[in-house]
């Protein structure tokens, strides 16, 4: 039996159903991601990548189909159960870092751990270790505004991994960075995901970065297709 971390089974999502603005973004989309796998999600702008990641990340529910986190079917779970699963099992990285500007890097990485019950001092100690993993040792007391875009995104990555999630979801994580910095952040992301043995589903428009992951899937007309490797 494979080590399933995420499975979407015939997932459909329709915005504004029954209105003139009705839009079917996902149409029986299916995918699975196993432990230790890094999967690139590629699609044109507006094809529904963020919608799919929101559903996979339990921030939204599909209109039809099932979402499995590990071997647990999540649609029938209460919001409280879904939030608990999201906090403990899933880490998110977005195109923009969304760090809290009034907190230091270490505090930003400590906060999700404290939400999971860790003491402030324990969370801060772990935060420093996580920041070292992403190459930001000794930068823990800097605020986001004192850091470069690539550094901010590495702090966001450390925050996403703070609770050792089984699944990392990333939506254009390097889309806001220049090519050299994007490459550097991506390298760090590959390394820490591999080291932690979590699974990752990463939406990107960048074919070179996508080609360095284990698999590429495409979202086309609301459906998922497995793409051949580009290189
Ligand atoms: N809450 C919503 N209500 C109505 N329509 C929406 C909603 N969210 C997204 N859409 C529409 O659904 C489509 C898919 O949006 P989505 O953000 O998932 O695409 P995307 O592939 O992530 O795009 P991009 O690469 O530009 O970020 C778009 O046409 C968008 O306008």
**What is the complex's ipTM, to 2 decimals?**
0.94
- pLDDT of 99 over the 90 cut: yes
pLDDT, tens digit, 9 for 90 and up, residues 45-77:
899 999 999 999 999 999 999 999 999 999 999
Q: Are strands 38-42 and 215-220 parallel, antiparallel or unpaired?
A: parallel
Q: What is the C-alpha separation between 222 and 17, in angstroms, rounded? A: 15
- pLDDT of 231 over the 70 cut: no
Cα of 167 to ligand 1 centre, how many Å? 22
For a pocket test of ligand 1, which of 17, 46, 59, 201 has the largest count of ligand atoms closer than 8 A to its C-beta?
A: 46
Q: pTM of the predicted model, to two decimals?
A: 0.92
For 149-210, give the DSSP string: HHHHHHHHHHHHTTT--SEEEEESTTTTS-HHHHHHHHHHHHHHHHHHT-EEEEE-S-HHHH
pLDDT of residue 192: 87
The domains of the chain, with CATH numbers, are 4-100+167-227 (3.40.50.300)
- Minimum CA distance residue for ligand 1 atom 16: 48
pLDDT of residue 1: 52
Q: How would residue 228 be classed by pLDDT, with cut points 50, 70 and 90?
A: low
Q: What is the C-alpha separation between 109 and 115, in angstroms, rounded? A: 11
pLDDT, tens digit, 9 for 90 and up, residues 117-175:
999 999 999 999 999 989 999 899 999 999 999 999 999 999 999 999 999 999 999 88
- Minimum CA distance residue for ligand 1 atom 3: 15
Cα of 83 to ligand 1 centre, how many Å? 23
Task: Give the residues surrounding ligand 1 with Cβ less than 6 Å away.
Answer: 15-16, 23, 25, 43, 45-51
Around Cβ 35, how many Cβ atoms within 10 Å? 15
Q: How many residues does the chain have?
A: 231
For a pocket test of ligand 1, which of 20, 49, 201, 204 has the largest count of ligand atoms closer than 8 A to its C-beta?
A: 49
Cα of 163 to ligand 1 centre, how many Å? 29
Cα of 50 to ligand 1 centre, how many Å? 7
């Amino acid at each position: 039996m494979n080590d399933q971390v995420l499975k979407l089974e015939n997932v459909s999502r329709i915005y504004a159903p029954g209105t003139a603005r009705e839009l079917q973004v996902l149409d029986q989309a299916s995918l699975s991601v196993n432990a230790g796998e890094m999967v690139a999600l590629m699609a044109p702008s507006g094809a529904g990548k963020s919608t799919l990641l929101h559903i996979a990340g339990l921030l939204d529910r599909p209109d039809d189909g099932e979402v499995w986190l590990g071997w647990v079917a999540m649609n029938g779970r209460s919001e409280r159960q879904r939030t608990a699963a999201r906090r403990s099992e899933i880490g998110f990285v977005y195109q923009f870092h969304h760090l809290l500007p009034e907190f230091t890097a270490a505090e930003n990485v400590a906060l999700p751990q404290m939400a999971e019950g860790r003491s402030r001092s324990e969370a801060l100690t772990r935060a420093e270790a996580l920041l070292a993993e992403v190459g930001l040792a000794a930068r823990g007391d800097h605020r986001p505004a004192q850091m470069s875009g690539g550094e901010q995104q590495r702090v966001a990555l450390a925050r996403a991994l703070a609770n050792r999630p089984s699944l990392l979801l990333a939506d254009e994580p390097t889309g806001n960075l220049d090519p050299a910095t994007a490459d550097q952040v991506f390298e760090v992301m590959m390394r820490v995901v591999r080291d932690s043995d979590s699974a990752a589903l990463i939406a990107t428009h960048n074919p070179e970065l996508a080609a360095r992951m284990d698999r590429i899937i495409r979202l086309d007309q609301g459906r998922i297709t497995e793409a051949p490797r580009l290189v």
